Structure 1
């Protein structure tokens, strides 16, 4: 569903599993840091709100969104990590770099989750403009970090 038709921060928590003993890895891209810090805060606060312990949430940074895949793998390889949440921002520019980055990150994150048999969540904001990115980082479309944390919790229920 297009983000324009849904608020990323709206969700139903009725069937969430107990995450008090679950450990989460956050991998956050430093590129567009003013936005990714907001995404990270949204994910972190959502995990705490639903019972995660602060000591069980680990945040690592990587230079950019392209590096999210390796950052996710480095966390996912640890048995004690139950889910990994990847957060970044890719904004379309004058070149096709966004196509290459987004495709690589989507495939890489999928492969890491399959390799380690645990949720590895795609929390990448992919927009045409900076304004659209802000709209998805706590703006009129909610916070993609919240959505990513909710997805991690939901996937732990399988």
Structure 2
């Protein structure tokens, strides 16, 4: 099933430094939601903390990590988002396929950003070892908080550097026109 399952509230506000309001979509896989939700919450919190006026952040949940690239492509192609953050946990369930799923997801996300010029960030993680006991679950919940924060920081920094590149290119174009 490749439908967006949930859509959480948005936050609208202009971006600092006179640029347009930032719009960020966060996609998350519902598999291991109890762990992945920590990355989503940390990413949202870091995005809101990183700009003096908060961006609009929308959360979309999809069935699994494999569905994330298609949804990322649809969101990027819509023109409604400046960046997309993907969060998921792909684990070795005893059948050797997790590596293929993880590679497909990461390759798909890279293709989305190269095709659309909308930056796509990944907190889709594939641990070497994951077990369903409380100790591992606690470790990965904490780890996903860290990764959610890191992916949001990468998003903020990339949007800033891309804005500078666009500004520089625009200034060069205006200078050449004179």
1:74 shift after superposition:
1.6
Unaligned runs of 5+ in 1: 1-16
Q: Secondary structure at the match of 2:90?
A: strand
More helix per residue: 2
Give the number of equivalent residue pairs.
140
Q: Secondary structure at the match of 1:92?
A: coil
Aligned to 2:93: 93
1:84 shift after superposition:
0.1
Write the distance in 2 (CA, Å) between the matches of 1:142 and 1:60. 18
Write the distance in 1 (CA, Å) between the matches of 2:25 and 2:106. 18
More strand per residue: 1
Write the distance in 2 (CA, Å) between the matches of 1:59 and 1:102. 21
Aligned to 1:77: 77
Aligned to 1:145: 148
Aligned to 2:54: 53
Q: Work out which structure has the larger RCO, using CA pairs closer than 8 Å and 6 or more positions apart in sequence.
A: 1
Q: Secondary structure at the match of 2:118?
A: coil
Answer yes or no: is the 8 Å Cα contact 1:137–1:143 preserved in 2.
Answer: no
Aligned to 2:9: none
Write the distance in 2 (CA, Å) between the matches of 1:143 and 1:134. 13
Answer yes or no: is the 8 Å Cα contact 1:137–1:145 preserved in 2.
Answer: no
Q: Secondary structure at the match of 1:88?
A: strand
